[in-house]
C-alpha cells in the first residue's frame, strides 16, 4: 500500500517520513509519485486547504493521499499570517523573506506581546472519497532575531521555552511541534482504519 504526501516541501517530506516510518505503507512525496501541478489553496482554514491538497493528489494518483496545511498565527497581528504563512512576503515558500517581513511587522513589540502559535491540520483522503482530518497546535512566541540552522519556514524565529525550533534537533522538535502532534494523531487514526479493513 502506498501513501502519497501531498507536498513538494523537502522539509515537510522529511518530517512526514521520519514520523510515519513505522506505518506498514510505502511513503512517497508528490514529486516521487509523479503528481503534476498543485491544488489551489482556496480554503478559508488550515483544514479546508489540507483537504483540497490531499483530494487533488488522491484523484491524480489513485492512492491514499495525506496533506498538511500549517502556519504561524501571531497574537499581536490578529492571527496573521495564518493560512497565508507560506506566501506572507509574496513568493510561495521564500522562508527568509517571510521571516524578515514578520520580524519587521513586530518591530518595537515587547517580549510579553510576541505570543504566537503554530497550527497544523492533516487531511487523509482515500481514492474513494473517504477522508478524515486531525489537528495539532504548539504555543510559543516570536523572537527578536533568528537562531539555529535546523528546521525550515518560521522555525528560526519561533521560540518555545527560550529555544527556537531552528535550534532543536529533529527529535526535540517532533516531540513538541504542531506537526509532530498532528502526525501522531494521524498515525493512530490511520492504523485504526487499516485494522478495521482487515
Among all residues, which ones are annotated catalytic? Answer: 69
DSSP 193: H
- Cβ–Cβ under 8 Å, residues 87 and 154: no
Residue 164 in grid coordinates: 527556537
Least Cα distance to 71 among 12, 4, 148 occurs for 12
Cα-Cα end-to-end distance for the chain: 13
CA-based max dimension of the chain = 58
In 3D space, the residue among 141, 157, 10 whose CA is nearest the CA of residue 96 turns out to be: 157
Instruction: For residues 18 and 29, give the distance between their C-alpha atoms in angstroms, rounded to a whole number.
Output: 13
Amino acid at each position: 500500500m502506498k501513501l502519497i504526501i501531498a507536498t513538494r516541501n523537502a522539509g515537510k517530506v522529511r518530517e512526514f517520513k521520519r514520523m510515519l516510518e513505522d506505518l506498514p505503507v510505502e511513503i512517497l512525496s508528490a514529486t516521487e509519485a509523479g503528481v503534476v501541478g498543485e491544488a489551489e489553496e482556496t480554503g478559508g482554514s488550515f483544514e479546508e486547504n489540507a483537504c483540497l491538497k490531499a483530494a487533488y493528489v488522491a484523484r491524480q494518483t489513485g492512492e491514499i493521499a495525506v496533506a498538511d496545511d500549517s502556519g504561524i498565527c501571531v497574537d499581536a497581528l490578529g492571527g496573521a499570517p495564518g493560512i497565508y504563512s507560506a506566501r506572507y512576503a509574496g513568493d510561495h515558500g521564500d522562508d527568509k523573506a517571510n521571516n524578515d517581513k514578520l520580524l519587521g511587522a513586530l518591530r518595537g513589540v515587547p517580549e510579553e506581546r510576541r505570543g504566537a502559535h503554530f497550527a497544523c491540520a492533516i487531511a487523509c483522503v482515500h481514492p474513494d472519497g473517504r477522508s478524515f482530518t486531525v489537528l495539532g497546535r504548539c504555543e510559543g512566541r516570536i523572537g527578536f532575531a533568528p537562531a539555529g540552522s535546523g528546521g525550515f519556514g518560521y522555525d528560526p524565529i519561533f521560540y518555545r521555552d527560550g529555544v527556537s525550533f531552528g535550534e532543536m534537533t529533529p527529535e526535540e522538535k517532533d516531540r513538541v511541534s504542531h506537526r509532530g502532534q498532528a502526525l501522531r494523531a494521524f498515525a493512530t487514526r490511520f492504523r485504526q482504519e487499516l485494522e478495521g479493513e482487515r
